[in-house]
Structures are given as C-alpha cells and as structure tokens.
Structure 1
Amino acid sequence: MAESARRRGGNRPDDRRSADQLFDRELDHLPPEARWREWMHRVEATIFAASEPVDREMLARIVGKSCSIDLLIDDIREELRGRPYDLVSVAGGWKHLTRPAYADAIRAAVGGSGKTADLTQSEVLVLMCIGYFQPITRAELSSFFGKEISRDFIGHLRGAGLIASGPRSPTPGAPYTYVTTKEFLLEFGLDTLRDLPDFEALEDAGLLSKEKLLAGDIMPDFSSHHYNAEVEIED
C-alpha cells in the first residue's frame, strides 16, 4: 500500500508545487482595499517575527504579483508614524527598530542588550576606512593613518562581527584583506555601503573630530590595544 501511495504521488515536485499553491497570494476574492490591507498585515507580521532583516524576495512570497512592496512598506510606515518604533530599511531588507528617542528609556528598563558594540572613536574611524576602501589590508590601514594598527585591534573588530577576512591581496606576500559584514550594516543602521556617511556627518554626530585627526591625536592607541579576541587573526 505504501509503495502504491508513493507511485500515485508521494513527494513529487508537482505535489510540492500544489502544496505551495494552497497559500493564496493574490487574494482575488477580496475587494481591492481589503486585499491591500491583508498584504500589509502579512508583511508587517513577517518582519515583526523575523530576527534578521527581511528582504524583498521573501516578502514577494506572501503578496500578489501585482503588489508594489515599496508602496506597501510606505503605507505601513505611515501607520507607524506615531509609534515608538518604525520599519527601517537596513542590511538589504526591512526590520522593526525602536526610535532613537526611546533608547535611554529602553536601557533604563532592560539594560544593554549586549548586541550593540561599544566602539571608540579610533574603532569608528577604522571601520569607516574599511567600509570605504574594502578590501583593504592591515598594512594599508596602517599606512593610511600613519600609525600601526595592531593585530589585536583588528581582532577586536572581528570578534565583534563587524569585519571579516576578504580575498588575498595581489601585493607581494598575498596578505589578507578585510571587509565589513552584514553586522556592520546593522550596527550603524545602513541599508547598503552606499549609505555610509561622510566625515561631516560623523562630526555632527560627535563620533569624529577632523581637527584631532589632522593633529594626529585621535588614534594614539592603535598598536597598544590588548583585547582578548577569541578569533584567529591573519596578517
């Protein structure tokens, strides 16, 4: 009997496609306004339930082919305008994030999440440099800043998940290069690397000082950091 059942159907690709078609994406039986509202609810629920940013391809699985995901997101964000959280485009997808104005209240209630990196000005500047010029070697970073950037310093950034090893450099010795990660985008609330701010924006945020950079005293400790980074560091 079991063999007969397998011959009659079982796990054939056609059966999987039929099961997939049981989920009604198009919602043609609903009037336009109700259909749009249901798509909004599906998208918001999916993003709310996800631990990582939800990309366009994933959202396309739960709405009709004629649905504009961008317009749908715009309508959801409009409804969230008065709420303490928003739907933010970050790391190639969308994610629910609380508004910065409530950061102090959240920390007072639950403390730090342990996820946000505690970065110094030196680390922010090195990350910015890697973001702009990746893939880049440690020697190139040291040359750029005129001071040695130690393996421990790089190890701390890698241990935080903000950078990773890139391809080998074509220069003599084929040293490792470094690139930023998806965690880097999440940490700084960026959708893509094209959203990286310029020096003026970082100065306005109080993260960097161009005067200190030009004076050479913004990064006095590149070679003196001693972190217990539990990662293997390549030169």
Structure 2
Amino acid sequence: MSAEAARVPHDVHGASGQEGDRKPALRLLEAMLFAAGEPLDEATLAARLPEGADLPALLAELSEDYAARGVNLVRVAGKWMLRTAPDLGFLLSRDKPEPRRLSRAALETLAIIAYHQPATRAEIEEIRGVSTNKGTLDVLLAAGWVRMRGRRRSPGRPVTYGTTELFLVQFGLDAIGDLPGLEELRGTGLIDARVSAGLTVPLPDDDTALKDDEDPLEPEFDLSFAPEPEAGEDEDAGEDAEG
C-alpha cells in the first residue's frame, strides 16, 4: 500500500486540530492491520500506537472508512483484521485452487462440537445416531478448526474436543455465541418449523478453561493425525467407541 493510499481514509475528514493529531495514529493502525498475517487483538494494537490514542474511536473510524471498499475492517474471534468484502469474495476465489469440501459427516461432527463442546467422540456419535470414523475428526483437527481439550473424568477417560480461534476466523464469527440459535435456524429453513417443541439448541461455550469433569491431556499424548480418508470413502463406517 502506498503512502498516498494510506492517507486517503483520513484525508476525507480534513487534517486540522484534533483531526490532525489523530492522523498519524490512524495511519499506523491501518498499516499494522494491513501488514498482519493474522487477526490482531486490541492489546497488541494499543501497545504500538502513540500514548493516549483512542483505540476504540480509531477502529470505529477506520471501519467506517473501509465499509464501502474492496476490503473491510472486521472483528473476528475478538480480534481485528482486514478481509475481502463479502460481495467480492467469489471473484477472487476463481484464482484459487478448489478447496476440498468437507463431507456431510465432517460438517455434522463440526456442528455438534461447536454447539456441545466439550464433547467426546461417543457423545458426538450419540447425537448423530451413527458411528464416527476417526478420519472425520482427523480432518477437522488437521484443518485447525477443532482441538483436543482434555480427558473426561469417566470410564476410559475419553478425549474431549472443542473449537479453536481459527474456527471463528474461518466462519467470520466474533465469538462462539454468534452461532445461530434455534429461532434463527428455523428462519433459515435449516430446521423444520414443525419439529418437537422440546427441541433445544444449546448455548455454545468455547471457554478454554477445563470443565469440572475434564482433566488435562498428558504431555506425551500423541497428537499425530491418521491419514485423511480418500475422496468417496465412507466416513460413517462403524468403529468402536472411544475408550
């Protein structure tokens, strides 16, 4: 980005008085966000801004400046990043290799983990009603959207799974609580409006702290992944429940 381009967002307001004092901080904030390879939290941004800079006001101003541009300033996973405007994403995707699509089993497993975390493999299978192939979880782990949290304090001490910060970034969520609730899902048609009145969608919680019924993973725990299933392989093949 050229120096001239970096000045554009603020020049539209003029550069006199307090506006002029804000200009260097606004340009520095823009440069940090542009150069960052990942979302930045407010503590990181504030630490590099001039003393006394009003970070919330600067972020609001920059967000407004970029609202109608080809890239937008967005908040994801509680952090800030510049991201391609949603209405232009399909144009840029033409130049990218076609990503491997998740299978139905992987999508269902990811959704269950997101809403019910921490969840064990046996709990995922109970909700889905079918066995879950180990390769399904390995795909989600390799993508960085799911992580191993700990071990459930129950017979067999099964591993518990939860979502990651990368999951929030990938799906443009500021927090896990932004996932749609029951009424929103009904509004989209993803859930039949005639379903049982007793159906509920849990409030998702991705707190990194272990729950009362979880123990930490052993330091030497093997985090290696099994080979990903080949295209067309049935990921719903039955397997023994996790022990």
TM-score by length of 1: 0.70
Name the structure where helix makes up a greater proportion of residues.
Answer: 1
1:138 matched to 2:121? The reply is: yes
- Which of 37, 44, 58 aligns to 2:44? It is 58
Aligned mates of 1:128, 1:201 — CA distance in 2: 15
Q: What is the aligned partner in structure 2 of residue 158 from structure 1?
A: 141
> Superposed, which structure 2 residues align to 1:1-235 within 5 Å?
31-108=17-94, 110-112=95-97, 118-198=101-181, 201=184, 209-211=190-192, 222-224=235-237
- The answer as to whether partners of 2:125 and 2:132 remain within 8 angstroms in 1 is yes
Q: What is the aligned partner in structure 2 of residue 218 from structure 1?
A: none
Q: How many residues align?
A: 185
Q: Which is higher, the Rg of structure 1 or of structure 2? A: 1
Aligned mates of 1:96, 1:202 — CA distance in 2: 28
- The answer as to whether partners of 2:120 and 2:158 remain within 8 angstroms in 1 is yes
C-alpha deviations, 1:155-189, integer Å up to 9, x for none?
11112111111110011111101111121111111
SS of the counterpart of 1:60? helix
User: Deviation of residue 202 (structure 1)?
Assistant: 5.5
User: Deviation of residue 197 (structure 1)?
Assistant: 2.0
Letter of the 1:83 counterpart: R
User: Deviation of residue 196 (structure 1)?
Assistant: 1.6
Q: Which runs of 4+ in 1 moved over 6 A?
A: 203-206
User: Deviation of residue 37 (structure 1)?
Assistant: 1.7
Q: Which moved more, 1:62-71 or 1:88-97?
A: 62-71
Sequence identity, in percent? 31
Aligned mates of 2:188, 2:102 — CA distance in 1: 14
Cα distance change of structure 1 residues 49 and 162 upon mapping to structure 2, 3 Å threshold = same
Letter of the 2:63 counterpart: R
Gaps of 5+ in 1: 1-29, 215-220, 226-233
User: Deviation of residue 113 (structure 1)?
Assistant: 7.8
Aligned mates of 1:204, 1:85 — CA distance in 2: 29
